[in-house]
Amino acid sequence: MLLLDSLRGEKIDRFPVWLMRQAGRYMPQYRELREKERDFLSFCKNVELAVRASLLPLELLDVDAVIIFSDILVPLEPMGVDVEFTEGEGPRLSWGGDVKDLRKIDFSSVEFVGEIIRGVKAQLRGVPVIGFCGAPFTLMAYMKERGSSKDFKKTKRFMWEGGENYRVLMSLLVDNLLEYLKGQIRAGADLIQVFDSWAMHMPYEDFEEYAQTYLRVLFEELKKFSPTTPILYFFRGSGSFLRALESLRMDALSLDWTVDLYTAMRESGKVFQGNLDPAVLYCGEDTIVERVQGFLRCIPRKTRYIFNLGHGLMPDMELSKVKLLVDTVKGYRLS
């Protein structure tokens, strides 16, 4: 499998490619499937529909990996957090606010995720399945803010004044995410991606104590459980945090477009993923091809690298342009 070969440092003749939110609203076929369930979470729990959605990017784009269709907020529900997605507004969370009332989870409470992985795998030949979760800090922030936020006031106040409650919540999230990821690996996930969408809001000097400590435990325990399952870590806004991230045990670090990939590759022994600004997809076809090829030409050929964008695909992007992007990456030969 190209993606796994690339991570292992084996010789490959082109860069592997998959995209964040590769199954999403920009696809008419996804929108059609999505109409079969009223709300987004019911869709995530409908194994048959989630399997079909997961496989759409393989059928329509011929990508090199399938990420299971779900959401990072799914494992919060069995902990005692109500999660609701309202059209156009993003997620809304509600819970009592007392850390002591939150539950430790058992994978059986989210068994539908295991069924989705098994359902997807049954239909794949030679393409790996990516399981995923949100990073502890990002999930804690969603819980404290009760949804998305611009300034993370409540999160930061909790971080600096929460004391033991902060540590208890973060440790509980680590335990639950570990259980969640182990369940996904048992069900057949070949790789795991951890999404840290909000860690960039953290002051640099606080990152180690309030976020990285917990990530480290999560990655190390996961490696103990399954040493051969690669861990991909997406850190939005990772630029100034690169040095801090050196000590984390991941197999590839997924970057957004604010990072100088070329310098990062020279200065770090890590494998990188991502980095191209998704906004290129709003341009004309010639510009897309030109910019993608120019981007790939800057990556030294011996480097282990996984093509992805710097963030997820957006609903107003065009499927034909996304396909052009994937084809351009696949057509760029390394040998």
Residues of this chain that interact with ligand CP3 (CB under 6 A) are 20-25, 34, 40, 67, 69-73, 85, 90-91, 132, 148, 195, 197, 236, 312
Q: How many Cα neighbours within 13 Å face the side chain of 93?
A: 24
Q: How many Cα neighbours within 13 Å face the side chain of 85?
A: 17
Place of tokens 């997406």: 234
User: Between 169 and 309, whose beta carbon lies closer to ligand CP3?
Assistant: 309
Min separation Cβ 130 and ligand CP3, Å: 8
142 catalytic per annotation? yes
Helical H runs in 237-284? 242-245, 261-267
User: Between 14 and 34, whose beta carbon lies closer to ligand CP3?
Assistant: 34
297 catalytic per annotation? no
The C-alpha atoms of residue 94 and residue 206 are separated, in whole angstroms, by 27
From the candidates 14, 71, 216, 327, which is the catalytic residue? 71
From the candidates 14, 21, 118, 216, which is the catalytic residue? 21
From the candidates 26, 30, 142, 180, which is the catalytic residue? 142
Min separation Cβ 138 and ligand CP3, Å: 7
| Six-digit token string for 145 | 């803010």
Decide the pairing of beta strands 129-134 and 272-274. Answer: unpaired
Residue 100 CB burial class (10 angstroms; 0-12, 13-18, ≥19): exposed
Min separation Cβ 123 and ligand CP3, Å: 16
Region of 25 (left: φ > 0; alpha: ψ -120 to 50; beta: rest) is alpha
From the candidates 13, 14, 25, 297, which is the catalytic residue? 25
User: Between 71 and 327, whose beta carbon lies closer to ligand CP3?
Assistant: 71
State phi, psi for 29 to the nearest 5 degrees: -65, -35
Are 136 and 170 contacting, i.e. CB atoms less than 8 angstroms apart?
yes
User: Between 168 and 319, whose beta carbon lies closer to ligand CP3?
Assistant: 319
Min separation Cβ 39 and ligand CP3, Å: 8
From the candidates 14, 34, 146, 216, which is the catalytic residue? 34
34 catalytic per annotation? yes
User: Between 91 and 119, whose beta carbon lies closer to ligand CP3?
Assistant: 91
The C-alpha atoms of residue 229 and residue 251 are separated, in whole angstroms, by 9
Q: Which residue is nearest to ligand CP3 (CB)?
A: 197
Min separation Cβ 243 and ligand CP3, Å: 22
71 catalytic per annotation? yes
Q: Which residues are catalytic?
A: 21, 25, 34, 71, 142
